[in-house]
């Protein structure tokens, strides 16, 4: 399958099935039968920090970080339906985030060298260009910024 076909197939799947996965693959969970962020504390103190989530899905990880005092919340996802769910969830809890509908393989419309944390929970494994995605993520991070991700390796 060509890259654009893969992206289109995935976009359609997530637009149609967003509600099925609502809140199921999000912090504090990193994965099935895996220690959680509440056990590992990989993020540390995120008070006031600028956070970008790649493949933010239904927004539950953004909410988790908002409740821990994150300063700025940004999320990107391929699926507008997922972003609509994320926007509703955050709004209902009194938070706002900059949510961008984009594929992670593209140069995102986000500031460079800006984020304290870029993270992704069960998202990175969907990329069609792993090295390109990692290179772009590095460009969004401040010097000494942190990248945290979990994913299924097929």
Q: Given the rule CB under 6 A, which residues bind ligand SAM?
A: 7, 10, 14, 25-26, 55, 57-58, 60-61, 77-79, 82, 103-105, 121-123, 126-127
Residue number with CB closer to ligand SAM (89 or 141): 89
Task: Report, in Å, the least distance between residue 93 CB and ligand SAM.
Answer: 15
Residue 102 tokens read as 């984009």
Residue number with CB closer to ligand SAM (12 or 48): 12
Report the residue number whose CB is nearest to ligand SAM. 57
Three-state DSSP string of 61-128:
HHHHHHHCCCCEEEEEECCHHHHHHHHHHHHHCCCCCEEEECCCCCCCCCCCCCEEEEEEECCHHHCC
Residue number with CB closer to ligand SAM (137 or 141): 137
Return the half-sphere exposure (C-beta side, CA atoms, 13 A cut-off) of residue 54.
30
């Amino acid at each position: 399958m060509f890259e654009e076909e893969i992206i289109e197939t995935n976009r359609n799947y997530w637009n149609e099935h967003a509600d099925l996965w609502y809140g199921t693959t999000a912090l504090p969970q990193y994965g099935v039968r895996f220690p959680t962020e509440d056990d590992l504390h990989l993020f540390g103190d995120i008070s006031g920090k600028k956070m970008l989530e790649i493949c933010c899905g239904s927004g539950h990880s953004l909410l988790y970080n908002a409740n821990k005092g994150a300063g700025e919340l940004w999320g990107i996802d391929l699926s507008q339906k997922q972003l609509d769910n994320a926007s509703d969830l955050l709004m209902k809890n009194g938070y706002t985030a900059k949510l961008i509908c984009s594929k992670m393989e593209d140069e995102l419309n986000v500031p460079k060298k800006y984020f304290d944390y870029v993270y992704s929970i069960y998202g990175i494994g969907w990329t069609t260009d792993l090295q390109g995605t990692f290179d772009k993520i590095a460009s969004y991070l401040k010097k000494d910024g942190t990248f945290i991700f979990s994913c299924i390796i097929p």
